[in-house]
Structure 1
Amino acid sequence: MAAWMGHLSKSIKEVRLLFCQTSPASSSTRSFIEKNYKDLKKANPKLPILIRECSGTEPQLWARYDMGVERGIRLEGMSETQISKALEDLAKAGSTR
C-alpha cells in the first residue's frame, strides 16, 4: 500500500467509484476495487468509500471535499495504476484547499 493511501481521510470527506459490473470499459475499475478496497478501508476506517455498480455506467471516480465541493474523473481506458494515480491526485488536490 502506498503511503498516501493512509492520508486520504485528511483531505477527502468521501470517495465514490461508479462502474458497470460487466462492461469491458469498467474492468480496470473492478480490478482496482478488488485489490485495493480492503487496504484503503483499513487505512481510512472512517472515510466513506462508496461503490456504485449500475449496468451501462461509465467508470468514474469522485471525491467530495469540505463545503460539498466535488471533483470527478472518468476512468474509462485507464489501467489500475492510472486509477491509483488519479485517486492520489484527488487527495493532493484536497490537501491544497
Structure 2
Amino acid sequence: MSWRSHLSRNLKELRFLFCQTSSASSHTREFVQKNYTDLKTLNPKLPILIRECSGVEPQLWARYDMGVERCVRLDGLTETQINEKLEELAKAGAALKG
C-alpha cells in the first residue's frame, strides 16, 4: 500500500461524505475510523475532510490540480472496496499530471 504515502502528490484534497446513522454509510464510517490516522500520518499536509450529513449517500471526493474533482459513490461497498476506490482516485491523479 505504498500508494497511500503518495496521496498528497496526486491529490489536492480528499473528502468523505456520509450519514452519521444510516446503515448505507456504516462501512464508510468504519473505513474512516480505521484509516484516517494512517492516511493523515502518511500525508500530513493533505486536507482530508470528513463531512457528516443526515440522509446523505456515502461518497468519496478527490480534488486535483486546476480544480478538477471526481466523485465515487460508496453505498454498499465494503471497507476493502472503499480502499480500492481510493487507490483508483489516487492513480487517476497521477495520470492527470501526465
Answer whether TM exceeds 0.5 for this pair: yes
Aligned to 2:20: 21
Among all aligned residue pairs of Structure 1 and Structure 2, give the percentage whose two residues are the same amino acid: 69
Partner of residue 57, structure 1? 56
Match of 2:43 in 1: 44
Q: TM-score, normalised by structure 2?
A: 0.97
Instruction: Tell me the SS of whatever aligns to 1:46.
Output: coil
| RMSD over equivalenced CA pairs, Å | 0.4
Q: Any unmatched runs of 5+ in structure 1?
A: none
Give the distance between the partners of 2:65 and 2:35, measured in 1 at CA: 24
Moved over 3 A (4+): none
The one-letter amino acid paired with 1:27 is: S
Please state if 1:77 is matched with 2:79: no
Ranges in structure 2 where 5+ consecutive residues have no aligned partner: none
Counterpart of 2:67 in structure 1 is 68
Structure 2 CA distance for aligned equivalents of residues 69 and 25 of structure 1? 27
CA distance in 1, matches of 2:78, 2:2: 20
